């Protein structure tokens, strides 16, 4: 069964953050994800999700000074302490929210040995911190052609090489279909090959990063194919709606109406 989670950082943005939880449930979603919850009360988010019967499936560790252009700090040697304090903060939120997946953003940094060592050590630290609580740590390659030039890794193989060096069982690949279409293509074969390493999938169409049906990716075929491969996790809808979020959900109706 295809399980779609609404990304509340990008969807229903005409509403206040907590009200987006209600809107996602009203639209038929049973899971939600978001980038950063830290300016809101974890207990209030959890209560709102529980009232709406929603599972919180993913959010990010603190990622540095976002307003000044930072996109993660995991690979930045001068911010190791900040990264590790952020891991503890994220763990506190995850436990309160019942969330079992957290994403550590590497940041914009050259893939040189010092930065790589920093990232490997930070991922290992966070994974060990999360493991006793049944929480997986995810890392995500992000396209450097359109969205984040200079990001530490932009291909699945580069991210997997970091996970291999970390060597922790609760570390997984976050596979974003949009980013990997930009950087790698051959989506069906790559997802099948990488499936044992994938802990979470996200989607958007390309170009434009809007909802499925607005670009070149054949999601009508691809989503059932992913399901047929045996993927049982959530697929986060991390896209920027081309118009009104609810009005653009026609593509999702066959999956939101599934039961099981």
- Give phi and psi for 230, each to the nearest 5: 105, 10
CA distances (Å), origin 174, targets 48, 51, 100, 103:
26, 28, 13, 8
Give the count of domains, the chain. Answer: 1
CA separation for the pair 231, 222 (Å, rounded): 12
- pLDDT digit string (tens) for the chain, length 260 residues: 999 999 999 999 999 999 999 999 999 999 999 999 999 999 999 999 999 999 999 999 999 999 999 999 999 999 999 999 999 999 999 999 999 999 999 999 999 999 999 999 999 999 999 999 999 999 999 999 999 999 999 999 999 999 999 999 999 999 999 999 999 999 999 999 999 999 999 999 999 999 999 999 999 999 999 999 999 999 999 999 999 999 999 999 999 977 55
Domain that holds residue 113: 3-259
Beta-bridge partners for 32: 6, 56
Q: Is 154 helix (H, G, I), strand (E, B) or coil?
A: coil
33 is catalytic: no
CA distances (Å), origin 15, targets 8, 192, 194:
10, 37, 36
Q: Which of 33, 55, 211, 238 is catalytic?
A: 238
Instruction: Identify the helix (H) or strand (E) that includes residue 139.
Output: strand 136-139
Q: Count the neighbouring beta carbons within 10 Å of the beta carbon of residue 220.
A: 11
| pLDDT attached to residue 260 | 53
Provide the sign of the torsion angle of the four alpha carbons 219, 224, 227, 228, taken in this order: negative
| pLDDT attached to residue 258 | 72
Tokens standing for residue 55 = 């599972």
Q: Which of 33, 140, 192, 216 is catalytic?
A: 140
Tokens standing for residue 75 = 């690979």
Which CATH number characterizes residue 99's domain?
3.20.20.150
140 is catalytic: yes
| pLDDT attached to residue 130 | 99
């Amino acid at each position: 069964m295809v399980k779609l989670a609404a990304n509340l950082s990008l969807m229903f943005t005409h509403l206040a953050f907590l009200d987006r939880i209600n809107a996602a449930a009203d639209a038929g979603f049973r899971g939600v994800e978001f980038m950063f919850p830290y300016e809101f009360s974890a207990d209030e988010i959890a209560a709102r999700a529980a009232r709406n019967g929603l599972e919180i499936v993913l959010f990010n560790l603190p990622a540095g000074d976002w307003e000044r252009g930072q996109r993660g700090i995991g690979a930045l040697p001068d911010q190791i302490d900040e990264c590790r304090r952020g891991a503890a903060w994220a763990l506190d939120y995850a436990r309160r929210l019942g969330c079992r997946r957290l994403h550590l953003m590497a940041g914009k940094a050259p893939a040189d040995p010092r930065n790589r060592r920093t990232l490997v050590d930070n991922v290992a630290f966070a994974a060990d911190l999360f493991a006793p609580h049944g929480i997986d740590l995810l890392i995500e390659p992000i396209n450097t052609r359109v969205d984040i030039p200079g990001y530490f890794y932009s291909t699945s193989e580069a991210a997997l090489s970091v996970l291999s060096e970390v060597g922790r069982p609760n570390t997984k690949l976050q596979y974003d279909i949009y980013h990997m279409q930009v950087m790698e293509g051959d989506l069906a074969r790559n997802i099948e090959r990488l499936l044992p390493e994938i802990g979470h999938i996200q989607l958007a169409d390309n170009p434009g990063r809007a909802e499925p049906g607005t670009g070149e990716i054949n999601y009508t075929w691809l989503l059932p194919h992913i399901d047929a491969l045996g993927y049982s996790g959530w697929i986060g809808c991390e896209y920027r709606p081309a118009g009104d979020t609810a009005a653009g959900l026609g593509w999702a109706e066959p999956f939101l109406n599934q039961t099981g």
